[in-house]
Amino acid sequence: MAIAGVPAWWLAMLFVVALAGTWLARDYALRRALLDHPGERRSHHQATPRGGGVGIAVALLAALAWLAWAFPGERLPLLAAAAGMLLVAATGWLDDHRPLPPVPRLLVHVLAASGLAVALALHGVPPWWCAAAGALALVLVNVWNFMDGIDGLAASQAAIAAGGYLLLGVGGAAGWFAAALMAASLGFLPFNLPKARVFLGDVGSGTLGFAIAVAVALACLRLPATTWGLLLLPLAAFGIDAGLTLASRILHRERWWEPHVSHAYQRWARRSGHGMVTLAYAGWTLVGVALMLRLPATGPWALVAGGTFGLASAYAWRELRNRREQGMEGTE
């Protein structure tokens, strides 16, 4: 049995690796008292172990190592992706044990993203896209960190986006890595739904963000340039919530670099619970996946549909953020 040309054993193996890794990470966190405690800038109500995302990191690093051997024609970008992911995951793992200053952490993320961009350039990818891929990696590492705040959200979003890239049927290392990302994300979710027994931690959220950027970059190696913009559609839910919330905080002269609970998903979850919000964002991303798979690569329809989806997403962000805030003010 295979899905989009990727055998089921590959999916099953990486699911099990991530599942076992998460279980071991949770046990380790409990023994070391690595706990996230409730607070006014958090969306949970009881102390919960963190760092469970190291299981995802181990699964994806193993997948990249095997793919670099199995697909020698794409070995350079695959090895650069593995090196960058190791840097991001290791920094997140350290941060989960003892918070690191933001500047050194950001510099590591820049180094990881730059390594991926350079490898793509050496592979023959146009310079403008190499720069865009590096920027995307840097942005998504931080977006997934910003958006990892309620049960099941970050891992389910990664699984859905990766599943969409798998269904594109691009083949090669791109298809196998998308399948690995989907399976590893699903392997974490039994510990994070319906109620979190362990959190991703920075090691997990950073790894997922970087891995999504790698999945997009690998797909672009096998797709015409006219289709590359469509690959961003499954990222709209996270990208718009993170981007517009950040812009709003900057415009209001808030300390935007500090933890907060002003994302649309956080405000909604405070009133309606984590499960409903995670399901709603899943539906939001599934629409993006459907558009990616169905829209033509070129022509006005792609621009019109993509632009409409983006505007509708921005409007939904505004309504969710404002209405939920008004609702909370009425109950306090």
From 44, 60, 49, select the one nearest 26 (Cα to Cα).
Answer: 49
Contact 53, 91 (CB under 8 A): no
**pLDDT in the model for residue 88:** 98
CA 85 – CA 116 distance, rounded (Å): 10
Q: Mean pLDDT per segment of 10 residues, for the chain of length 332 residues?
A: 86 98 96 78 73 97 97 96 98 94 94 97 92 96 90 95 94 96 97 90 97 96 87 94 87 74 81 87 95 79 81 87 53 32
**pLDDT in the model for residue 40:** 54
pTM: 0.92
- CA separation, residue 52 to residues 157, 165, 288 (Å): 17, 25, 28
CA 219 – CA 165 distance, rounded (Å): 8
**pLDDT in the model for residue 238:** 93
**pLDDT in the model for residue 42:** 59
Beta bridge partners of 7: 2
The domain limits of the chain are 1-35+47-223, 226-332
